[in-house]
A and B are shown apart, each in its own frame.
Chain A
Amino acid sequence: MRTLVFIPAWNEADSVAAVIADVRERLPGADVLVVDDGSTDETAVRAAEAGATVASLPFNQGLGAALQTGYLYALREGYDFCAHLDADGQHPPAEVARLLEEVRADRADLVIGSRYRAPVADGESGDEVGGDDYKPTISRRIGTSVFRFFLTLATRQRFTDTTSGMRAANRRVMELFSENYSPDFAEIESLQLAVRQGLRVEEVPVRMLERVGGSSFLTPVRSAFFIFKGMIVLLVGQFRPRKVGTER
């Protein structure tokens, strides 16, 4: 059973090496692929030095295209399972290992790491967040609840963390996502798509870390636009044809 852990990275030269080292330590059996989404800094070099395989997109294509590149690689190279996490150090690889356990045990096809589900028991404190400790900004909180509501309405399944970038998947999901993946609304539409295709999607509570550097890209105006766009994407998604079976 081969496992691929891939990390979409766009100008994350400062954090990518540490994330790779952490993944290699916590998930020793997995191959690590960094999908460099047209970075203009040293991301690709740092990733290769840290021992990861690097797939460099020639220009920035957006998170959806980067994630799809990872799924495509996993599918083509014959991996049985794959998982992805963010390159900015918010996602502890130990938690990714727990997501992978779920797909390995065949309890789900796609597993989402949720920071909003009930917190996991842990003795550590500090800047770790999860469950009730997580204090997002107001615009993020509004966006989160709007998406949560509409995605739950669309899929008739309860989702709490719709935009989580920490996921684990098996080959059925790779086949689906390598062909159908929205380039600019990756997280939400992919969940809707997977549920509509009859795949088992499950959320697992995870701890996430506070962002080390940089700030969230969300300003109030952008959030409003983001939410509006997301609702259109979800609405349109409801009318997409269901594909019977998956192509080989």
Chain B
Amino acid sequence: MSAALLIAAQDPKVHLTSQTRILAAVIALAFMLMILELIRRDRLQERFSVVWFVAGLGMLAGAIFPGLLGFVADAMGVRDTNVALFSIILLLLLGLALNFSVIMSRQAAQITRLAQEQALEQAREQAKSVENGGKPERERL
């Protein structure tokens, strides 16, 4: 399948008007700009942005080469390209959500340990000051 064929969108399985294609491309570009802006303002760390950039590029690719979707659907053995599109997106989002749960679990464990270390440090200091005959520390941190 040649690239020209992909751009021409002659595949009868994909029905996209140029209007929807332009709209999709604009949304994809705006999405990637938004990611860039978030990174620039330190609201998003680079290491978490990679996957969103890939998603934006995928959207852009789908808008520019509508034939691509038909090609993917064929490769998956799915007759309806819409079904192929939605299954791919659904699986990707599922994977992402799981990934976030894993990251959250790790961070929750780290926060807990941090809190414990701080509490232990405080308790040790109090125990030490009592041993030295000082008054027990009564102020909470």
| Distance between Cα atoms of A61 and B108 in the complex (Å) | 10
Produce 1/0 per residue, A56-77, CB < 8 A to B: 1111010001001100110011
Q: Dominant SS at the B interface?
A: helix
- One of B112, B124, B138 near A77 (C-beta < 8 A): B124
A183 at the interface (CB under 8 A from B): yes
Known: A45-B140, A54-B123, A61-B115. 4 other contacts (CB 8 A): A53-B130, A55-B120, A69-B119, A73-B120
Q: Count B-side interface residues using an 8 Å CB cutoff.
A: 19
- One of A48, A56, A65 near B141 (C-beta < 8 A): A56
A54 CB to closest chain B CB, in angstroms?
A: 6
- One of A35, A45, A183 near B112 (C-beta < 8 A): A183
B141 touches A58 (CB 8 A): yes
Residues on B close to A: CB < 8 A?
Answer: 108-109, 112, 115-116, 118-120, 122-124, 126-127, 130, 136-138, 140-141
Q: B126 — which chain A residues lie within 8 A by C-beta?
A: 48, 53-54
Q: B108 — which chain A residues lie within 8 A by C-beta?
A: 183
Q: A44 — which chain B residues lie within 8 A by C-beta?
A: 140
In the complex, the chain A residue whose C-beta lies closest to that of B137 is A48
Q: B124 — which chain A residues lie within 8 A by C-beta?
A: 77
A59 touches B123 (CB 8 A): no
- Take A61-B112, A77-B124, A183-B112 as given contacts and tell me if A55 and B119 are in contact as well, using a CB distance cutoff of 8 Å: yes
- Take A44-B140, A45-B138, A183-B108 as given contacts and tell me if A55 and B115 are in contact as well, using a CB distance cutoff of 8 Å: no
